[in-house]
Amino acid sequence: MPKRSRVDVISLGCSKNLVETERLLKQLEAKGYAPFFDCENPVGEYVVVNTCGFISDAKEESINTILSLAQKKKNGEIGKLVVMGCLSQRYLEELKREIPEVDHWFGKFDWTDFVELLPSLKQTEGTPKIWERKLTTPPHSAYLKIAEGCNRFCAFCAIPHITGRYHSRPIDEILEEVRSLVAQGVKEFNVIAQDLSSYGTDIYGKNSLAVLIDRIADIKGVEWIRLHYAYPADFPEDLMEVMRKRDNVCKYLDIAFQHISDPVLKNMRRHISRGETLNLIAKLRHDVPGIRIRTTLMTGFPGEGEKEFEELKEFVASCRFDRMGAFTYCEEDDTFAAANLQDIIPDEEKKRRLDIIMGMQQEISQELNEQLVGTVQKVLVDRIEGKMAFGRTQYDSPEVDPEVVINEINPDVKPGSFIDVRITEAYPFELIGVQDGNKI
């Protein structure tokens, strides 16, 4: 039997989606409901799925989750089924026809209407501000979304069709959110947007990312600021000075280059050339000494012949990225590539190329990590299991980057502590160490 006054919320997809889920949880709590996040066995009076509609695997996961919950509803295990997010934003009418078991459909931006449907279970002193959240991350770490949407319209990407045009949040609103999160104990802020490089251009008439990050860094209690999802074209070079000068701005940048061959970059509509890409990487490493760069690459995009793939391999080998992810090209509905470019490279060949560059990256990661053996690194402890702790350096983003496994810790170390760790062993995607000295 469904449990009254309980709402189970399942969040799929990226960290940007997770922020919306956390805002929903806060709104539900304010009305007196007991929201449960990503429960393995949902039994709520309401079950809400925040879907992802970005790539085929994510869409499949979202649909399978909805169908599984529809069966639970049929069995009487849950109450009403609610769907929101990118998938329903993109395919609302088709989904309504195909999955009639869903009671309420919402898109990416109108989910507050669901909260309005629910009767209040307690007296409230007002609705939480739209940016207020119930964190699902460890209490010392939070994602900070500074913008929505995208104006780039890369040939392979459907996100602009889902999220709409670029829309920056005002600086003052973001700073208010940061101060609120610091007061709750958050020390690490992972700044996210679909395109950091465009921040402020829509509301201030010029790029304002450096100004924003500098002002966040001024807030007492902000220990680490990490930057995710910059766009190579029109990269705000004044940000480099902020990264170099501010100790609490991590020397870390997540910037997706996707490819290096000029013909492929042109087909991708990336608005940047091979030469400009290499110049940007060189400038980043010169102007921000010690910076770690995470990038994302794609194999098998239309126009990637053997020559272009060799260029990509040479790019991986010569640039030696500190962190790298990659994926194979797959046609997405409503994109320029799907409508205008022929996807003729077999999936097996795309996967072969992917395996090659990821194998190269594994060797590079091993070599770079081995250079850290014997050094002392400042580590943020995420969790403790028995006598071991697990944490990250400033160069490691949650979930996607390596962890530091700490075999010997002082008894007073808690999650959220910053400690010095002497690195004793290195693997491609993991570091091993022991606590060095006292907690800092």
Please give the backbone phi and psi of residue 269, each rounded to the nearest 5 degrees, phi first.
Answer: 60, 50
| pLDDT greater at residue 122 or residue 163 | 163
pLDDT in tens, 249-268: 999 999 999 999 999 999 99
Say whether pLDDT at 438 is over 60: no
CB-side exposure of 47: number of CA atoms within 13 Å? 27
Residue 331 has a pLDDT of 93
- 277 Cβ contact partners less than 8 Å away, ≥ 6 residues apart: 232, 257, 260, 265
- Which residues are registered as beta bridge partners of 51? 85
Question: Per residue in 62-82, is it b (16+ CB within 10 Å) or e — as a string?
Answer: bbebbeebbebbeeebbbbbb
pLDDT in tens, 150-172: 999 999 999 898 899 999 999 99
Residue 125 has a pLDDT of 67
Which of these ranges, 42-56, 192-206, 383-397, has the smallest mean pLDDT? 42-56
This prediction's pTM: 0.93
Residue 387 has a pLDDT of 86
Residue 149 has a pLDDT of 94
Please give the backbone phi and psi of residue 154, each rounded to the nearest 5 degrees, phi first.
Answer: -60, 150
Say whether pLDDT at 54 is over 80: no
Question: How far apart (Å, rounded) are the C-alpha atoms in residues 29 and 440?
Answer: 35
| pLDDT greater at residue 14 or residue 188 | 188
Residue 38 has a pLDDT of 87
Region of 293 (left: φ > 0; alpha: ψ -120 to 50; beta: rest) is beta
Q: Could you count the other beta carbons within 10 Å of the beta carbon of residue 58?
A: 18
What whole-number percentage of the chain has pLDDT above 70?
Answer: 98
Say whether pLDDT at 55 is over 80: no
pLDDT in tens, 311-335: 999 999 999 999 999 999 999 988 9
Say whether pLDDT at 13 is over 80: yes
Average pLDDT of the residues of the chain? 94
Could you list the beta-strand ranges (E) of 53-186.
80-85, 104-105, 141-145, 147-148, 167-168
Residue 439 has a pLDDT of 44
Say whether pLDDT at 433 is over 70: yes
* pLDDT average, residue stretch 325-350: 95
pLDDT in tens, 279-293: 999 999 999 999 999
List the one residue out of 239, 324, 223, 226 whose CA is nearest residue 288: 239
| pLDDT greater at residue 397 or residue 387 | 397
For residues 147 and 198, the answer to whether their CB atoms sit within 8 Å is: yes
Regarding beta strands 104-105 and 80-85, do their DSSP bridges make them parallel or antiparallel, or are they unpaired? parallel
Say whether pLDDT at 402 is over 80: yes
pLDDT category of residue 440 using cuts at 50, 70 and 90: very low
